Structure formats: C-alpha cells, structure tokens
C-alpha cells in the first residue's frame, strides 16, 4: 500500500450521508479519502426544511447545509446527479448510472427512503407528485402558480406540511386521510381533532376515513375519486402516505435486508466493509423515518469507524409539526395500556391540550397541542427515564412551575438546569453540550453560534434558548448584541424577528405582539407602535383593525401637520392628470376654507395649506363631491405616480407613459408601505418625469419598458438601478406590484427602498421579482389582495363622521362659561 488514505465511498448526498462524513471528519480529517454520490444534481441541503421552502418562508439557499466550499475544503469529491447503479462486493467497487466505476475500502450506504405510492389507477398521471426532494417542491410551486385545487393524500406530518404550503401559495387544498384521526401515529384523538379544526379554520378541507379509489384525468390529473363515490377536482395530487427504506441497491448486492438494511450497533451491515445509516437501515428491528435518530446513528458510526466504538442503542423520537402558527408536539408512547396513567390539562380558551403519560413514576409519552414550550423538557425527562414522583402534581403545568419557581423561573436558570445532552436545536441535532462547547471555542454571538454549530440556524424556533445559553456561558460579557439592532428600546427583537413572529404565532393585534414577545414597556413607544401597526396591516390585511393611536399624526389625521399646527390637503390626481372641473372644485375649496397658500408639488399635485383640523372633514367632503380622493401626501404610502406626456403628444415619446402612469396609480393608490413610495413613468430616455430618482421608475423605450428601482431625492440623493426590461404594459404592472409587495413584506418600517436594497442587494430583489416567475405572481397576488381590502378613501370615511373626535374639540372654555360639554 502507498501513503494514500483508504477510500470511503458514500452513496447518498442527503442529511444522513453528509452528517456521517461530518462526524468522521470531526474525529479524524485525514483518515479517509471521501467520495459522495448523490442522485440529485445539487449540494447537501436540509430535507426537513423543504416544508418552509414550499410555504415560502425559506429559500433553497437558506436550507443548504454544506455548500460546494465544504466539499472543496475537505477534499471530498461530489458526484451529483449520477446515482450509483450497482455494488460489486467481491471487487469492492460501485458503478454509477453513467458507467463510471470506482473502488472503495469502506462503503457507506445512506440512500434514505422512497415515498410510497399507492398503486391506484391513475397514480402515474402527470400532476401526481410526491413530497421528498426539491424537484417535488418545484413541481408543487409550478402548480400553485396557476392556482386551482390541490389534493393531498395522507394526513401525516409530511402531508399536512405539504397542504399548509400549498394553501399558503393560494391553492384550495383538500387533505385525504385514511384513518379517523390526523397524524394518528403521533397524536391522540383529542389533539388530532384540535389540529383538524385549526386547519379547517384556515380554509383547508380535511376528509378523514377517506379511501382513494382512483385518480382520473385526460393527459394530466383532473380529479380524485373516493371509494364512497365522492369526486374531488384536482389540478395537482400530492402523495404523502408514507416512506419506505430505499433498499434496492443493498438487496441486489445480497446484503441482509429486512424492512431496512440490517445493521449492528456500529452501523455495519452483513458485509464488514459496508456500513449503512439513516432512514434506509433497520436496527434492532426498528426503522426510523425522522431526523433525530440519524444524529445518534452518525455519531455511533463515526465512533465505530475512527474512534472507540460506543454502540447505537436505538432512539426515542419526538415530533414537531412545521406548520406555522400551529404548535404540535409528540414524543414516546401515548397508546396507554396497563399501568399507564394520564395527566391531562385542557384550556379551551387558549386552545391548549397537554397530556403526559406516566408509567411507574416515569414519563413514557407526551402529546402537546397549542403550547409546546415544555416539549423538550418532557422529552428530556422521558429519554433519561427520570423519576417524576416528586414533581408529579406540578408536572403538567410545565418546567417553570414544576421546578418550584412558579411562572417567574429565570430562563437562564431553566437552561442551566438542562443536561448536557438535552437537545437544543431539533433541525440540526445540536445538544446543549455542543452549543456550550461552541461558545467556549469563541462563538460569542448568536450569529457566530449559528455559523459554527448550526444551532438555531434553520427554523430559528430555538433562538431564545441559544441566546439564553450565551448569557449563561458568558454572563455579563454577553451583551445580547446581535449584529443587528433591535426595533426600539422596548424590545430585544429585530424588525425581522418581530415580523416573523407575527406570521408564525399569528399575532393580530399590537397588545398580542407585546405580550408574546415580552415587550418591556406597557404600551410601546412612539417608535414601535406605528411599526407594529404597519406590520400587522401588511401581514393580515383581512383582519387588520386600524389603531389610530398607533399612527403618526399625519396618518391619523390624513393630512400633513404644519409647523403652526394647521394641516395641508392634497387631492389625488391620477398620473398628474386633472380636469377643469377638478380645478374649479379645488379653487372653490381654497376660497371657502381660507387656504393661505396654494402650491404645485414636485409630484404633480396641488397642495392647499393652512387648514384647521376642525375643517378637514368638510373640505374633504367638498373635494370628494367633485370626484377626488385622498392623495396620501401625508403617509408612509404610495404617494404619486409622476408622468410625462408620452407618445400621445410628445414628438419623442415612445409609449403612452401618461396612460401607464394613470393605470399604475389606480392599481397602487391607498397602499400603506414601510415608508413613502414614489413612482414615475417617463415616455423616453430624456426622462422628463425624473423616473431615475423614484422608488420605482419606468423609462419607456421603443422595444418596451425599463424598470428601475431604489432611487430617491432627499438628503442622500440616489439614482435608481435597472431591475430588468419588459416588453408589455401588463408585465410592467405585474413587476411593479410584485416589487412593491416584496418591499412591503420585507423592508423595515421607515426604510425607503434605497437603504433596503442596499442591505439585501439588487441581486436578491431580482431573484425574487425577475427570476422567480411563480414567486413574482404570488407577490403580485398578495398585493392585489391587500388592495382589494385596504384601498379605501380615508377622506370619504372621515367626511361621513368616522373618528370625528379626532377633529372636534372636547369643549371650549370661555371665561366664566364652558360650552359644548
């Protein structure tokens, strides 16, 4: 033999294969020369985060575990998109589909599992997909982009996550589940029912006891037929009824295979040079389809291969459903039986159901719905087999209560009480001990912990725990200073954290946010309240209840306050176009309300100065009567669409810039934004409408429309950047709506588009608005949906008497008399 290290060949570039390699490298980076074969044409990503990708909460880039640099840095050859076709055990070689053959000293099979397809007629029609890899997600997203009906067969973990994602993407979703209770392997009947009600309240149709007879369609799927005769229309069918260990290769190579590839405690198969790990294996009669056992298996495998064997002893599993806003946790055995006692807590108002199953003073199972904060604690007690007799009475109320500290138990003490092997991050399998070690090695910020041991780097739900550990390890040296700043002094959360929590926890009112995120002030401050009001409005347009007391004065009064306390009023003129009648009405109003200054604005509107707050409803009523609505010149909102005269009159004009501007303003007026938002449309590159210093600018050219973004005048003048060029007016409108919605959903309150784009990068904006056709249409749809609900003329509402207390004095005092009380 030469000095070259032995060859380790890994079949499977998924979570198990790469995790095993990581564990081996962590013990001895030089031991093996590693080659990894992957069937998918991409690097190693976090498969359990596909649900958030489908739901639009994550992008593919965000769920990559190991990028190409990891392979390069560790000298690993990645053969992707070329699956292994056969194993020759006597020659110790594997051959890929392309014909390429390489030899191994050790072979690791990590082929995972295949989705189970129920063999009903029509199961092979185009439009019937599974939910296993990124290609499946892409197929679902493509279907969702067209809208229509989705049928998900299977009401287990995966099926419900698929249903949730498709529903968020705008499809009408029906879930078909053979059993009477959803997720019956993880949940008992009570929790299953609560879950079903919650999903139905979100607009999904859930059919339990639904037995699929046939899938039909002409050339592509069109309907699902049940055995009871029900016919459900379907534009896409997702099969998520279960998975099977992928054992084909192992079987052909004549390895011992039962339900999975049989392995011993060191994950070695019936051939001493072949190991197997992950969902494809059977250990001690058990096959696992969840991620947590995989971390244990990979540790045992690496220990056995390069260090001291410690032996895998099987895993107890717990489950969390990744459906934002619905908290479900289950662990262990909840089927009951001899000697089992149930401890149950129900709180109907809060929608909480907790059940802990105890046998011989030990927890054997737990089902939590609605409040899963103590899930990890129960799971920890369960795994360790701890005697709970002393805390039995308080057990169901959770760790804080049972530990004797009442509800006020210090969170730092709570994490200090966790054992070193307690799991902190379920997505990446990181224990408390690993996080502490990582902090000990110099990771002194949340971001540093995330980038080194990956704790809280995926779904982020354990961020609080990780921060508590940082605090525990570093004491006063940890200033909690994330590299980003909190929203305001009332909270430690960033704008992004708060927006994520609003969606995830379905927070719909300002007090609910403050409660859920532990605001340090009773009712916020002048900085956070307007921001929260906007975030709620953006997240929940249907349910938003306007809170005038959380609006800056101009938005509360729907007029601009001036330095003497009077207001200015600007009627909207779509695209800068007005009529003699409108001008007459404006002139009359200016006379009637003794307007002191009439000014033409930079945005091609007319501004009337010096109006008293008591007179505002009356002048609005007069302007309304002439057909004009609020110009929102006062708001963090769409201000104006400025235009030039375009091809209708101008000898240089290439397109109808005025007409397009009018259309865009009709689409966008009345939309609230993180900050003011200005649009302009110029009819030719001479750019008379100054489109290059607007938030969204259009320059018409002979061949179409250049779309420009991120410009502003003001203190820091910034020219726009070219986002893309489109050919038709319809496209220009669609891209405009999508860009606005992306800005509305992702920029921080009081960020104009320029600083926002500088932070996230133009490439990011392009990737969402230009390159992602499905995503762009979804953004546009969300914008138009919001507009259907919130595009209201506030002047008309106020003129009709709404909120009139804002405009009237409480009373007047004249010496020796009070009038009006």
Partner 1 sequence: MPHNALWLDVGPVEQLPALGARTLPVQGGEEIAIFRTANGDVYALINKCPHKQGPLSQGIVHDNTVTCPLHNWRISLATGDALGDDKGCVPTVPVKIDGGRILIGRKEALASAA
Contacts with partner 1, residue ranges (CB under 8 A)? 521-526, 529-530, 548-550, 552-553, 556-557, 561, 563, 565, 805, 809-815, 818, 820-821
318 in Cβ contact with 379 (< 8 Å)? yes
302 in Cβ contact with 339 (< 8 Å)? no
- Which residue, 569 or 628, has its beta carbon nearer to partner 1? 569
For the chain, the helix, strand and coil percentages under 3-state DSSP, each to the nearest 5: 35, 20, 40
Instruction: Classify residue 810 by its DSSP letter.
Output: S
- Which residue, 461 or 562, has its beta carbon nearer to partner 1? 562
* Separation between Cα atoms, residue 157 and residue 278, nearest integer Å: 18
Give me the least distance between CB of 528 and partner 1, in Å please: 9
Q: Produce one character per residue of 401-436: b if its CB has 16 or more CB atoms within 10 Å, e if not.
A: bbeeeeeebeeeebbeebeeebbbbbbbbbbbebbb
Give the contacts of 679 (CB within 8 A, at least 6 positions apart): 638, 640, 641, 642, 661, 664, 665, 668, 694, 695, 696, 697, 698, 736
565 in Cβ contact with 622 (< 8 Å)? no
Give the contacts of 97 (CB within 8 A, at least 6 positions apart): 82, 83, 84, 85
Give me the least distance between CB of 514 and partner 1, in Å please: 11
- Which residue, 325 or 548, has its beta carbon nearer to partner 1? 548
- Which residue, 15 or 616, has its beta carbon nearer to partner 1? 616
Give me the least distance between CB of 712 and partner 1, in Å please: 22
- Which residue, 97 or 809, has its beta carbon nearer to partner 1? 809
Looking from the CA of 753 toward its CB, the CA atoms found within 13 Å total 31
- Which residue, 407 or 819, has its beta carbon nearer to partner 1? 819
Give me the least distance between CB of 554 and partner 1, in Å please: 8
- Which residue, 475 or 820, has its beta carbon nearer to partner 1? 820
* Separation between Cα atoms, residue 338 and residue 669, nearest integer Å: 66
Q: Which of 779, 774, 688 is nearest to 739 (CA)?
A: 779
Give me the least distance between CB of 486 and partner 1, in Å please: 17
Give me the least distance between CB of 751 and partner 1, in Å please: 18
* Two structure tokens written together for 14: 């998924």
Give me the least distance between CB of 792 and partner 1, in Å please: 21
| Number of other CB atoms surrounding residue 511 within 10 Å | 14
Give me the least distance between CB of 137 and partner 1, in Å please: 44
* Separation between Cα atoms, residue 230 and residue 235, nearest integer Å: 16
Pairing between strand 106-109 and 113-115?
A: unpaired
- Which residue, 759 or 802, has its beta carbon nearer to partner 1? 802
DSSP string, 670-737: T-B-SS-EEEEEESSTT-TT-GGGSSEEEEEETTEEEEEES-B-SSS-B--EEEEEESSHHHHHHHHH
Give me the least distance between CB of 117 and partner 1, in Å please: 58
Give me the least distance between CB of 208 and partner 1, in Å please: 45
- Which residue, 559 or 723, has its beta carbon nearer to partner 1? 559
Give me the least distance between CB of 804 and partner 1, in Å please: 11
- Which residue, 66 or 560, has its beta carbon nearer to partner 1? 560
- Which residue, 354 or 675, has its beta carbon nearer to partner 1? 675
Give me the least distance between CB of 526 and partner 1, in Å please: 4
DSSP string, 258-273: SSSEEE-TTSB-SSTT
- Which residue, 350 or 805, has its beta carbon nearer to partner 1? 805
Pairing between strand 352-359 and 340-347?
A: antiparallel
Q: At what angle do helices 463-474 and 432-440 cross, to 10 degrees?
A: 50
147 in Cβ contact with 242 (< 8 Å)? no
Torsion of CA 481, 486, 490, 496, to 10 degrees: -140
Give me the least distance between CB of 672 and partner 1, in Å please: 17
Give me the least distance between CB of 803 and partner 1, in Å please: 9
* Two structure tokens written together for 219: 């050339």
* Separation between Cα atoms, residue 325 and residue 372, nearest integer Å: 12
- Which residue, 229 or 522, has its beta carbon nearer to partner 1? 522
- Which residue, 80 or 527, has its beta carbon nearer to partner 1? 527
Give me the least distance between CB of 556 and partner 1, in Å please: 7
Tell whether the torsion through CA atoms of 499, 505, 508 and 512 is positive or negative.
negative
- Which residue, 233 or 548, has its beta carbon nearer to partner 1? 548
* Separation between Cα atoms, residue 384 and residue 363, nearest integer Å: 9
Give me the least distance between CB of 557 and partner 1, in Å please: 7
Give me the least distance between CB of 337 and partner 1, in Å please: 52
Angle at 691 between CA 686 and CA 695, to 5 degrees: 165
* Two structure tokens written together for 374: 């103590």
3-class DSSP string for 608-628: EEEECHHHHHHHHHHHHHCCC
- Which residue, 588 or 812, has its beta carbon nearer to partner 1? 812
3-class secondary-structure state, position 128: strand
Give me the least distance between CB of 807 and partner 1, in Å please: 10
Give the contacts of 712 (CB within 8 A, at least 6 positions apart): 678, 693, 694, 695, 718, 752, 753, 754
* Two structure tokens written together for 64: 């990559």
- Which residue, 600 or 811, has its beta carbon nearer to partner 1? 811
Torsion of CA 489, 492, 495, 498, to 10 degrees: -120
- Which residue, 634 or 739, has its beta carbon nearer to partner 1? 634
* Two structure tokens written together for 189: 């009947």
């Amino acid at each position: 033999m030469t000095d070259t290290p032995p060859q380790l060949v890994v079949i499977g570039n998924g979570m198990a294969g790469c995790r095993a390699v990581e564990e081996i490298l962590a013990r001895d980076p030089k031991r093996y020369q590693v080659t990894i074969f992957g069937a998918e044409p991409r690097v190693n990503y976090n498969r359990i985060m596909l649900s958030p990708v489908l739901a639009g909460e994550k992008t593919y880039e965000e769920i990559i575990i190991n990028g190409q640099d990891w392979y390069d840095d560790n000298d690993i050859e990645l053969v992707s998109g070329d699956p292994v076709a056969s194993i020759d055990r006597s020659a110790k070689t594997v051959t890929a589909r392309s014909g390429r053959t390489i030899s191994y000293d050790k072979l690791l099979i990590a082929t995972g599992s295949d989705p189970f397809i129920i063999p009903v007629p029509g199961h092979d029609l185009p439009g019937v997909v599974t939910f296993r890899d990124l290609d499946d997600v892409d197929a679902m997203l493509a279907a969702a982009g067209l809208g229509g009906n989705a049928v998900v067969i299977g009401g287990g973990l995966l099926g419900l996550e698929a249903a949730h994602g498709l529903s968020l993407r705008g499809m009408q979703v029906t879930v078909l589940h053979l059993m009477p209770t959803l997720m019956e392997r993880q949940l008992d009947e009570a929790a299953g029912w609560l879950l079903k009600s919650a999903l139905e309240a979100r607009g999904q149709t859930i059919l339990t006891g639904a037995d699929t007879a046939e899938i039909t369609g002409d050339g592509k799927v069109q309907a699902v037929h049940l055995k009871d005769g029900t016919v459900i229309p379907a534009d896409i069918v997702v099969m998520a009824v279960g998975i099977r260990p992928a054992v084909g290769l192992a079987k052909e190579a004549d390895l011992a295979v039962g339900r999975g590839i049989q392995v011993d405690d060191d994950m070695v198969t019936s051939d001493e040079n072949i190991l197997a790990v992950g969902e494809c294996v059977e250990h001690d009669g058990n096959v696992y389809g969840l991620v947590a056992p995989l971390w244990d298996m990979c540790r045992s495998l690496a220990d056995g291969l390069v260090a001291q064997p410690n032996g895998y002893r099987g895993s107890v599993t717990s489950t969390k459903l990744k459906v934002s806003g619905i908290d479900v946790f289950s662990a262990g055995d909840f089927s009951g039986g001899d000697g089992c006692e149930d401890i149950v807590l129900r709180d109907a108002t809060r929608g909480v159901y907790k059940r802990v199953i105890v046998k011989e003073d030990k927890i054997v199972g737990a089902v939590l719905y609605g409040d899963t904060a103590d899930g990890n604690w129960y799971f920890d007690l369960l795994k360790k087999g701890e005697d709970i007799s002393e805390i039995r009475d308080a057990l169901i109320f959770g760790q804080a209560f049972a530990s004797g500290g009442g509800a006020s138990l210090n969170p730092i003490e709570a994490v200090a009480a966790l054992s070193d092997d307690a799991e902190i991050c379920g997505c990446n399998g990181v224990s408390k001990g690993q996080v502490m070690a990582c902090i000990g090695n110099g990771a002194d910020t949340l971001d540093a912990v995330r980038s080194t041991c990956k704790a809280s780097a995926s779904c982020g739900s354990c961020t609080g725990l990780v921060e508590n550990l940082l605090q525990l390890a570093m004491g006063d040296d940890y200033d909690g200073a994330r590299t980003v700043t909190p929203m305001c002094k009332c909270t430690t959360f960033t704008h992004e954290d708060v927006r994520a929590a609003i969606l995830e926890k379905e927070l719909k009112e300002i007090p609910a946010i403050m409660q859920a995120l532990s605001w340090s002030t009773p009712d916020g401050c002048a900085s956070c309240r307007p921001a929260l009001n906007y975030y709620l409005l953006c997240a929940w347009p249907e349910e938003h209840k306007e809170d005038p007391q959380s609006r800056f004065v101009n938005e509360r009064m729907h007029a601009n306050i001036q330095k003497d306390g009077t207001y200015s009023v600007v009627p909207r003129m779509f695209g800068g176009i007005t009529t003699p009648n409108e001008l007459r009405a404006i002139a009359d109003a200016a006379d009637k309300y003794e307007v002191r200054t009439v000014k033409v604005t930079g945005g091609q509107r007319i501004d009337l100065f010096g109006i008293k707050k008591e007179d505002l409803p009356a002048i609005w009523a007069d302007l309304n009567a002439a057909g004009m609505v609020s110009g929102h010149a006062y708001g963090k909102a769409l201000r104006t669409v400025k235009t030039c005269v375009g091809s209708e009159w101008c000898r240089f004009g290439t397109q109808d810039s005025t007409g397009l501007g009018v259309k865009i303003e009709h689409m966008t007026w009345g939309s609230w934004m993180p900050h003011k938002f200005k649009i302009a449309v110029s009819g030719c590159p001479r750019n008379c409408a100054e489109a290059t210093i607007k938030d969204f600018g259009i320059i018409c050219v002979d061949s179409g429309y250049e779309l420009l973004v991120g410009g502003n005048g003001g203190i820091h003048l910034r020219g726009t950047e070219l986002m893309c060029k489109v050919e038709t007016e319809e496209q220009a409108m669609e891209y405009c709506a999508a860009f606005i919605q992306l800005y509305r959903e992702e920029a921080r309150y009081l960020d104009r588009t320029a600083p926002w784009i500088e932070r996230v990068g133009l490439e990011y904006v392009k990737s969402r608005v230009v390159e992602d056709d499905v995503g762009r249409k979804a953004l546009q749809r969300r914008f138009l949906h919001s507009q259907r609900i919130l595009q209201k003329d506030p002047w008309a509402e106020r003129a009709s008497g709404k909120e009139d207390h804002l405009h009237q004095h409480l009373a007047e005092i004249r010496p020796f008399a009070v009038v009006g009380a």
